[in-house]
Structure 1
Amino acid sequence: MHSTLLLKRELDDKPSGVYAPQYFQYLGYRKRLCAKKPEARANATEALFTRTVPYIYRNDWIVGSIRPLMVEADPVELEYAATICKSFGRRGFAHNADHFAPDYQRVVQLGVPGLLVAIEESMARHEEPARVEYLAAMRQTLLALRAMMLHYADAAERLKDCEGYSPERLAEIAARCRWLASHPPASFADALQLVWFCHIGFCLEERYAMALGRIDQYLYPFYQADVAAGRLTPQRAQELLENTFIKIYERRVCLGDDDVVNICIGGTSPDGSNDGNALSYIVLRAVKECQIPGPNLSARIAANTPDDFLDECLQVIGTGLGYPALMNDEVNIAALKRCGYADEDVYAYCMVGCIENFLPGKQPPWSDGRFDTPRFFEFLFNRGKGIHHPSVGIDTGPVETIETMEEFMRRFEAQLEYGAEEYFALFNNENCRYNPAEYVQPFLSCFCEDCIERGLDINAGGARYPSVHGAALMGVGTVCDSLAAVDKVVFCDRAATLSELADALRANFAGYEALREKLLAAPKYGNNDPFVDRYAVWFVDFLYGLFSRYRTHDGGRIYIAMAANTSNIWAGREIAATPDGRLAGEPLSDAASPTYGRDRHGVTEVVNSVTKPDYTKVACGTVVNQKFTPSAFEGKNRDKLRALLRVYFRKGGQEMQINSTSREVLLDAMEHPEQYQSLVVRVSGFSAFFVTLDRSVQLDILSRTQQE
């Protein structure tokens, strides 16, 4: 039986106990409760790494597990531990704590010993006590990571006589762990194990969506050397990668949800050459064998990307996994260059979380928030008031005084301007509550340039670049369709007045069914109709200019994103009826995609519509969801699909992700979930087990237009 399947079966055996990372953090904090925050945080991390008991699976080759956080403990003691931890506070996603890609290139070059030397050298250069103290805290966390490696070596040696374990395998594991504790990696397996130890360290610290980054780039020199020396075969490299990737599934077993661990392959070098290599293909085959929602694989596609690499990507997508997400390298590189980053850093970009562009090891962790653009129609039509909720915009006057579409647009833009100001104030005020001196992250800072060199925390000026924040713009399709409907029905055809439309929206179209039919018949985004597509161009241009005015607390940019991750469903529940004919409570359009079911003229016209905006202004990234029949990935049909993607990227499309599971299978899975426990689908920026999704999300996926 395949070793990956055997390991998957071990992973499926849910451990007893409760998930209690705060218990171990508490043990660290109580070491010296009045310690300064850098030392206190380091004590907590040290306890997580050294006071948990290593767990090694029988089919492990690459060790490191979150199972040690599952403990049998007195509930009263756990509650007390949580109280102590709460008093120390912690950063969350909104406050730059996770969604980060470490500088694994530097990690595998230097190893933990090399990073420790860099810290010692920095301590010798700095005289300011606060910086020296912080560097000492960073050193403490790396020493704890080294101790965890040695604990795993000891555990492997203790297990060698246990039933079901291979003594030879355990001896190899023990030797590798001991080597890494005192040397940089000397082989492909060493480098992969070191990266996984670091990743598990972040998981033990309760960090989420920590990317593995450009794994085919930083591991390739080790792969190349090992293959040349006869120490490694491509098949063995794939087995080791599978053994690592399948462990991402461990979170679902222990916690009941999936981690979004982004891995990036392919891309372009600054000299224009293709960055893809043999390892890029092996990564694709490894994730195909694992058949789990994660890792969240992203492939950087450029004009010079070979056809066989794109074909390999399509083969994996065609299994139903929905990844890799396909990223346009030219557009993303141009978008990041707009932000003023150095070229060498831009070309090294990867993704974190779902599709968020990120400079690995160069900037603080990512954060983003939801900006519900269709909501502002409510405020325009109701003089700043919400219809079904207390949200407030500004009073832009009675709509019956609007005489032209240009005036309607000016008032809508005024509502958006106020909304952006409110959004930024809420974000910045919330973020500034987290004093960098108090909420330090010494372990994380070890993996970001130039924190060690500066002796500063990742969120306190240590990182090479300041933090960035993504404003995720909801509902471009809903907005474009709404503006086109107002333009067509009210101003072109004079078939209704704005006053009548306002009444219809307040009534959720009850009694206004005829007007709703006219609105639904207006031009819709996704059909290559310039009448409506021009509003998508306006959408990106205007909102890019709007959010470019603002900066994060440390001077970083506010990116715009066109991604939803199912938030279009929840946002739709909060928003009244919209001028496109959408009813109150219905989902908004998803991410950068047209509204599902309204793209009626095939995928070519979808491509022609969605490539009209300038996505070099969308530095975070976009999500365009498309669904194809399974036959689209077979034979000559796959050639056509590859050609379509080439055209899409050449015309300026930024991203595309594809579902390939048939409508019939999805319907049957909803009816008989017990028969489809392993069915994986693409949701929006991530993949998931279909039967674990909320029914509203399942229905949203089902509603996507299926292309031939």
Structure 2
Amino acid sequence: MIEKGFSQPTDRIKRLKDQILNARPHVESERAVLVTEAFKASEGLPAITRRAKAAEKIFNELPVTIRDDELIVGSITKNPRSTEICPEFSFDWVEAEFDTMANRVADPFEIPKETAAELHEAFKYWPGKTTSDLASSYMSKEAKDCQAAGVFTVGNYFYGGVGHVCVDYGKILDEGFRGVIADAVMELEKLDPMDPASIRKEQFYNAVIVSYSAAINFAHRYAAKAAELAEAESNPTRKAELEQIAKNCTRVPEHGARTFWEACQAMWFVQCMLQIESSGHSISPGRFDQYMNPFLQADSSIDRAFAQELIDCIWIKLNDVNKTRDEVSAQAFAGYAVFQNLCVGGQTPDGLDATNEVSYMCMEAVSHVRLPAPSFSIRVWQGSPDAFLYRAAEVVRLGLGVPAVYNDEVIIPSLQNRGVSLEDARDYGIVGCVEPQAIHKTEGWHDAAFFNVAKVMEITMNAGKVGDQQLGPVTKPMTEWASIDDFYEAYQAQMSYFVRYLVEADNCVDLAHAERAPLPFQSAMVDDCMGRGMSVQEGGAIYNFTGPQAFGVADTGDSVYAMKKFVFDDKKISIAELKEALDANFGMAVGEANPAAAMKGDMTEERVYAAVQKVLAHSGSTDVATLKNEVYATLANDTGGPADTSKFAQIQRLLDSAPAFGNDIDAVDLIARRCAQTYCKEVEKYTNPRGGQFQAGIYPVSANVLFGKDVSALPDGRPAKAPLADGVSPRQGKDVNGPTAAANSVAKLDHFIASNGTLYNQKFLPSALEGDSGLQNFASLVRSYFDHKGMHVQFNVIDRDTLIEAQKNPDAHKDLVVRVAGYSAQFVVLAKEVQDDIISRTEQKF
């Protein structure tokens, strides 16, 4: 038997989970008020000093909260699953949403009136002083116009902190914050007063000492709070827990951990304080099993069931972290996503298998907690034990969308190709959605921008125009294209132009963070900031990258293939006819299927029902828009009249009939590969202000839905404003030849060049993974996909009917968690259009 099943969570974990599920996220004001007071008091001082004094004030004065049942303590907010505001990055969007954030479509937050009043008062200080203000002042009109037109957006770091980092948790567990302070003192003593660089280095080291001294006090405040609660506690079991929590917080993270419980507490304090220092998301715990397992093995006194409960408590705490964004960005990151990626398995730096006891305990924690965080990942290589992959398959079968699975055989050489050493590449972790990095040595600027490849396709077809605006360079009009080579030439010119301004916009924001938001607390845990005497934001990390991600690859590839086949090869339609149909959105109202052909005859209920039944019985599609068109066409045929009275609808059906990416057809797949490579090769031509290289990724978060609204009709038959394909996945409903064929298509993309990460979603019916045979089939699919050089794959295991039922009755399905993109989320909190996108994904079976 391969199946093992999972144990049940403790009652404590069930209660802590309910706190998260039943929480109504709030915006809180304490951090905003404290950072504003700190900055007012530090006018005229260097930026790094001001940031240290801000951290000092926050760590010393932020309210201390210990929730019922907690064994691991440390909270960013008073209320569960709530958020603080960081006005030093941006603030005006918050004020603009005081009255609407509680009721917006995606990720609503309550803002009590007294909180809004406190924030309003704090915000008065910040006009002209934020990182977004500075970045905007650097940015050209052309870069701003490109963003306004929906070609790309750099809003992620424009509005907030960068995050997207994995720090050296292991060092803190071993040496504590006192070890960091000792390093800073030693570096100060080594400074040469004759070296001009020593002036700024001295400011950096002093900032580290100030920040870490306050961070120690933050933990001691929790020790005092736990002792206070213990004194008043009448339950002897809870009293003993609180007394031990007080001892733990007195010891760590000031000093190195001695027990597994202390190690868990120290790890969480690091995670919590990183979030408090800045508003960055995707602050990722990295290779948790590698730095935690030594403490488990060395702790001879701990019961394994209690050790498991401690890990489960960390899982709960990771779900307590939340972040609010502006209304538009919230739609792109739908589901209260914070992207704290925790990774297990893979290889050691010297190339041996890294799987250990904690690797499996993390999988058990997933089964116990069953909440969206962390973004749980596993690394797989040729030396990974089959038992490890089978156990991961059992976790996948739970239907939570985790673990995401990563291929060492692609990622390690792709990192080496970017200049990462072999040992550091083998020690990679996953950050955020799907982004690999050399842990605690990298400032990757992953997720630096969303780039809409399909929008560039649209602009190419309009000779550089968006509407009446000449946004890109003037290229040959579509109606003058004599071959598909004319398209490629124009596409290359447009891509070169827009990537150039993407890079400019990213670098403007990058410069602004270096000047106004250097982070001393974070930087001291990233190599080699201490050796170089500068922050991560100024280039202190060993490896520096900027990683913008693309989406719309499958849509573009399918469009180019359909155009090549029906216009230039088979000559079924002319290029002018295609352009006319696209401009007319195939004769549809925007976002609707074309009912023109269905209007003949009597539109009785019986006739419509019969057409729907006929389509459902024979259609291979799960895409709602496609199914609508097929129903309309069936109604037209049933009248005995022509299949369609609209030539535009005929053209759309012709285009939609083309073979699509996701079916293991080289003629289609290699076109998608070329379209993606065009983007990736343009991106990697550029460097950033930290002395590092740009590297491309292909993943969407949930932006494929939001930014699909900016894209008009495409030659693959997709109507205007419809969602785009997510990541490197095929278009919804188009991968009809089974999961292996779909995976083979995706593997043909150049995952090595997309070294910032690629994202592939597959969706399975639960029956496909039943029993030992289901687990074996799953493992074989992953191994085969990775043998073909795919980088990443993740799975939803759920049926369409369950999702539709949850959509109708959300209160009964609060604990339904699904994979959205590079993260999981509660299904019922997603915007309906994102829910529909997940429902429409192809349901695979073996």
TM-score by structure 1 length? 0.95
- Distance (whole Å) between structure 1 residues aligned to residue 190 and residue 382 of structure 2: 46
The amino acid across from 2:35 in the alignment is Q
**2:12 aligned to 3, 11, 36, which one?**
3
- Distance (whole Å) between structure 1 residues aligned to residue 270 and residue 753 of structure 2: 34
The amino acid across from 1:689 in the alignment is Q
**2:130 aligned to 89, 93, 101, which one?**
89
Contact residue 449 and residue 548 of structure 2 kept, 8 A: yes
- Distance (whole Å) between structure 2 residues aligned to residue 323 and residue 657 of structure 1: 7
What is the alpha-carbon root mean square deviation over aligned residues?
A: 2.3
The amino acid across from 1:237 in the alignment is A
- Distance (whole Å) between structure 1 residues aligned to residue 71 and residue 34 of structure 2: 26
Which residue does 1:573 correspond to in 2? Answer: 709
- Distance (whole Å) between structure 2 residues aligned to residue 486 and residue 375 of structure 1: 16
Provide the secondary structure at the position in 2 that maps to 1:500. Answer: helix
Provide the secondary structure at the position in 2 that maps to 1:462. Answer: coil
Aligned residue runs from structure 1 range 26-45, under 5 A: 26-45=36-55
Matching of residue 448 in structure 1 with residue 526 in structure 2: yes
- Distance (whole Å) between structure 1 residues aligned to residue 223 and residue 324 of structure 2: 24
Contact residue 263 and residue 298 of structure 1 kept, 8 A: yes
Provide the secondary structure at the position in 2 that maps to 1:622. Answer: coil
Aligned residue runs from structure 1 range 427-446, under 5 A: 427-434=506-513, 436-446=514-524
Contact residue 169 and residue 270 of structure 2 kept, 8 A: no
The amino acid across from 1:233 in the alignment is D
The amino acid across from 1:370 in the alignment is F
Change in Cα spacing, 1:562 to 1:167, as seen in structure 2 (3 Å) is same
Contact residue 351 and residue 426 of structure 2 kept, 8 A: no
Aligned residue runs from structure 1 range 626-645, under 5 A: 626-635=762-771, 636-645=773-782
**2:785 aligned to 641, 648, 651, which one?**
648
The amino acid across from 1:357 in the alignment is P
- Distance (whole Å) between structure 2 residues aligned to residue 625 and residue 347 of structure 1: 25
The amino acid across from 2:409 in the alignment is E
Once the two structures are TM-superposed, the CA of residue 188 in structure 1 deviates from its matched residue by 1.7
Once the two structures are TM-superposed, the CA of residue 181 in structure 1 deviates from its matched residue by 5.3
Cα deviations across residues 200-219 of structure 1 (Å, max 9, x unaligned)? Answer: 11222333221011000011
Contact residue 93 and residue 99 of structure 1 kept, 8 A: no
Which residue does 2:462 correspond to in 1? Answer: 382
Matching of residue 458 in structure 1 with residue 547 in structure 2: no
Once the two structures are TM-superposed, the CA of residue 196 in structure 1 deviates from its matched residue by 0.7
Which residue does 1:201 correspond to in 2? Answer: 273
**1:501 aligned to 578, 584, 597, which one?**
578
**1:469 aligned to 546, 555, 559, which one?**
546
Aligned residue runs from structure 1 range 117-196, under 5 A: 117-126=182-191, 127=193, 128-163=198-233, 166-180=238-252, 182-196=254-268
Once the two structures are TM-superposed, the CA of residue 398 in structure 1 deviates from its matched residue by 2.5
**1:220 aligned to 290, 293, 300, which one?**
293
Change in Cα spacing, 1:266 to 1:251, as seen in structure 2 (3 Å) is same
Provide the secondary structure at the position in 1 that maps to 2:398. Answer: helix
- Distance (whole Å) between structure 1 residues aligned to residue 26 and residue 351 of structure 2: 52
Which residue does 1:411 correspond to in 2? Answer: 490
- Distance (whole Å) between structure 2 residues aligned to residue 335 and residue 441 of structure 1: 29
Contact residue 563 and residue 623 of structure 1 kept, 8 A: yes
Aligned residue runs from structure 1 range 496-535, under 5 A: 496-510=573-587, 511=646, 512-535=648-671
Contact residue 233 and residue 239 of structure 2 kept, 8 A: no
Q: Unmatched 5+ residue regions in structure 2?
A: 1-9, 85-111, 133-154, 326-334, 588-645
Contact residue 28 and residue 115 of structure 2 kept, 8 A: no
Aligned residue runs from structure 1 range 687-702, under 5 A: 687-702=824-839
| Mean CA deviation greater in 471-480 or 276-285 | 471-480
Which residue does 2:330 correspond to in 1? Answer: none
Contact residue 101 and residue 352 of structure 1 kept, 8 A: yes
Contact residue 379 and residue 406 of structure 2 kept, 8 A: yes
Contact residue 523 and residue 531 of structure 1 kept, 8 A: no
Which residue does 2:420 correspond to in 1? Answer: 341
- Distance (whole Å) between structure 1 residues aligned to residue 817 and residue 349 of structure 2: 36
Contact residue 131 and residue 516 of structure 2 kept, 8 A: no
Q: How many residues align?
A: 702
Cα deviations across residues 547-603 of structure 1 (Å, max 9, x unaligned)? Answer: 221111222121111101111111211011011111011111111001111111111
Matching of residue 100 in structure 1 with residue 110 in structure 2: no
The amino acid across from 2:760 in the alignment is V
Once the two structures are TM-superposed, the CA of residue 35 in structure 1 deviates from its matched residue by 3.1
| Mean CA deviation greater in 7-16 or 339-348 | 7-16
Q: Unmatched 5+ residue regions in structure 1?
A: none
Cα deviations across residues 204-243 of structure 1 (Å, max 9, x unaligned)? Answer: 23332210110000111111111xxx21233222110111
Contact residue 444 and residue 547 of structure 2 kept, 8 A: no
Contact residue 29 and residue 119 of structure 2 kept, 8 A: no
Change in Cα spacing, 1:651 to 1:684, as seen in structure 2 (3 Å) is same
Cα deviations across residues 646-678 of structure 1 (Å, max 9, x unaligned)? Answer: 111111111111001211100101111111111
Change in Cα spacing, 1:104 to 1:624, as seen in structure 2 (3 Å) is same
- Distance (whole Å) between structure 1 residues aligned to residue 568 and residue 25 of structure 2: 64
Contact residue 98 and residue 365 of structure 1 kept, 8 A: no
Which residue does 1:56 correspond to in 2? Answer: 66
Which residue does 1:671 correspond to in 2? Answer: 808
Cα deviations across residues 229-284 of structure 1 (Å, max 9, x unaligned)? Answer: x2123322211011111012223599993422110111113443211111100011
| Mean CA deviation greater in 378-387 or 128-137 | 378-387
Change in Cα spacing, 1:18 to 1:43, as seen in structure 2 (3 Å) is same
Once the two structures are TM-superposed, the CA of residue 133 in structure 1 deviates from its matched residue by 1.8
Once the two structures are TM-superposed, the CA of residue 481 in structure 1 deviates from its matched residue by 0.6
- Distance (whole Å) between structure 2 residues aligned to residue 17 and residue 461 of structure 1: 33
Which residue does 1:605 correspond to in 2? Answer: 741
The amino acid across from 2:803 in the alignment is L
The amino acid across from 1:52 in the alignment is L
Provide the secondary structure at the position in 1 that maps to 2:33. Answer: helix
TM-score by structure 2 length? 0.80
Contact residue 341 and residue 431 of structure 2 kept, 8 A: yes
Q: Percent identity?
A: 31
